[in-house]
Amino acid sequence: MSYGDTLGLVGDPTRRQILELLRHRPRSVGELAGEMPVSRPAVSRHLRLMKDGGLVVDHAEGTKRIYAIRPAGFRDIVEYWSRFWDEPLRRFKDHAEGGDT
């Protein structure tokens, strides 16, 4: 996926809320739905989109699917945003070390 695709996926507030919950620990659809103002089927749809986009992974535990964040899925977006910070941070470091006045 490209950074644009990833941005599109995380642009949705419900998906961001799911990611915030998964950031703390892997969870089942039922656990996620119990902490959100949307239905269980809606949570499942959002998770399916994020799984297809490579942002989350899942595995079976009995009859449940447990979802977790897939850090590698965020690589494109991290690389995109770091283009905006790498050069300014380098200049700031140079200035702070007295190499730039």
Q: Has residue 56 got a pLDDT over 80?
A: yes
Question: The domain spanning residue 65 has which CATH number?
Answer: 1.10.10.10
Residue 56 domain-assigned (yes or no): yes
DSSP conformation letters of 8-25: HHHTSHHHHHHHHHHHHS
Distance CA 69, CA 47 (A): 10
Residue 8 domain-assigned (yes or no): yes
Residue 101 domain-assigned (yes or no): no
Over the stretch 35-51, which tens digit does the pLDDT of each residue have? 999 999 999 999 999 99
Its domain, for residue 84, covers 3-96
Neighbours of 20 (CB within 10 A): 10
Over the stretch 8-35, which tens digit does the pLDDT of each residue have? 899 999 999 999 999 999 999 999 999 9
Phi and psi dihedrals of 54, rounded to 5?
Answer: 80, 10
* Number of domains within the chain: 1
- Integer CA distances (angstroms), 84 to 42, 47, 72, 77, 81, in order: 34, 29, 20, 12, 5
Residue 51 domain-assigned (yes or no): yes
Residue 76 domain-assigned (yes or no): yes
Residue 24 domain-assigned (yes or no): yes
Over the stretch 60-90, which tens digit does the pLDDT of each residue have? 999 999 999 999 998 888 888 888 888 888 8
Q: What is the pTM of this model?
A: 0.80
